[in-house]
């Protein structure tokens, strides 16, 4: 009899990392292009994730947990900083400073003093100062929110692990354009690269710090 995927992975790919000694929250690319109907990047799952995230950010701020935001920006004159990815996914060409779709959603704007990292590729670690920033601050756990689950969330979770950090993805606070890739990638992240937990679990952690 064929096993379902949960049974198939049980006892093999279902380890848990848990929270470490010090955490930071990262909010990945919650930009208006993903939540504006009519935009080629529009993703209904991201709209839901954005609506779920302010409560978590409020809890993190009250607990004194650092919050880092990422945004994507390209050179709109030649997109040379987008490399091969911009050729594979030209839809990303809207993410330039002059386009309102490239700016943060109003509900999850960085608060004064919070770090904003600009990136050109999927992972928040690739080509950025994120790893050095976390290490210098003594942070060993990255609480991951943002979009999209099958792209930048997964890439960041994988690179978090590879750079020696615990990746904790918050299910309700991550979104994609379709439930299939969203659920498949959360399943893979939880199996191999980090933990996927509910927002309620994360809020309990933050409120007890």
pLDDT per position as a tens digit, 36-88? 999 999 999 999 999 999 999 999 999 999 999 999 999 999 999 999 999 99
Cα–Cα–Cα angle for 129, 102, 34, rounded to 5 degrees:
105
pLDDT bucket at 105, cuts 50 / 70 / 90: very high
Reduced to 3 states, what is the DSSP secondary structure of residue 24?
strand
Identify whether the C-beta of residue 84 lies closer than 8 Å to the C-beta of residue 31: no
**What domains are there in the chain, each with its CATH number?**
19-73+102-207 (3.40.50.850)
- Collapse the DSSP code of 132 into the 3-class scheme (helix H, G, I; strand E, B; otherwise coil) and give the result: helix
Tell whether the model's pLDDT for residue 12 goes beyond 80.
no
Q: Which pLDDT score, from 0 to 100, does residue 202 have?
A: 98
Interior/surface letters 86-120, b for 16+ CB within 10 angstroms, e for the rest:
beeeeebebbbeebebbebbeebeeeeeebebebb
Residues noted as catalytic: 152
3-state secondary structure 114-131: CEEEEECCCCCCCCCCHH
pTM value is 0.95
CB-CB contact of 159 with 26 (8 Å)? no
Half-sphere exposure for 10 (CA within 13 Å, toward CB): 6
Distances from the Cα of 193 to the Cα of 97, 154, 165, 196, angstroms: 33, 9, 10, 10
DSSP H or E segment with residue 66: strand 66-72
């Amino acid at each position: 009899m064929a096993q379902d995927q949960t049974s198939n992975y049980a006892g093999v790919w279902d380890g848990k990392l848990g929270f470490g000694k010090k955490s930071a929250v990262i909010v990945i690319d919650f930009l208006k292009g993903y939540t504006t109907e009519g935009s080629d990047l529009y993703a209904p799952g991201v709209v839901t994730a954005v609506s779920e995230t302010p409560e978590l950010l409020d809890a993190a701020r009250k607990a004194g947990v650092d919050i880092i935001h990422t945004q994507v920006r390209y050179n709109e004159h030649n997109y040379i900083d987008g490399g091969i990815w911009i050729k594979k996914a030209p839809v990303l060409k809207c993410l330039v400073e002059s386009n309102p779709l490239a700016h943060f959603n109003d509900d999850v704007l960085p608060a004064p003093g919070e770090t904003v990292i600009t990136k050109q590729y999927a992972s928040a670690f690739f080509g950025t100062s994120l790893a050095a920033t976390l290490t210098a601050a003594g942070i060993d756990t990255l609480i991951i929110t943002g979009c999209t689950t099958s792209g930048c969330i997964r890439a960041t979770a994988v690179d978090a692990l590879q750079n020696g950090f615990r990746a904790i993805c918050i299910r309700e606070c991550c979104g994609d354009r379709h439930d299939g890739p969203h659920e498949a990638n959360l399943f893979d992240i939880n199996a191999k690269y980090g933990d996927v937990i509910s927002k309620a679990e994360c809020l309990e952690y933050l409120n007890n710090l």
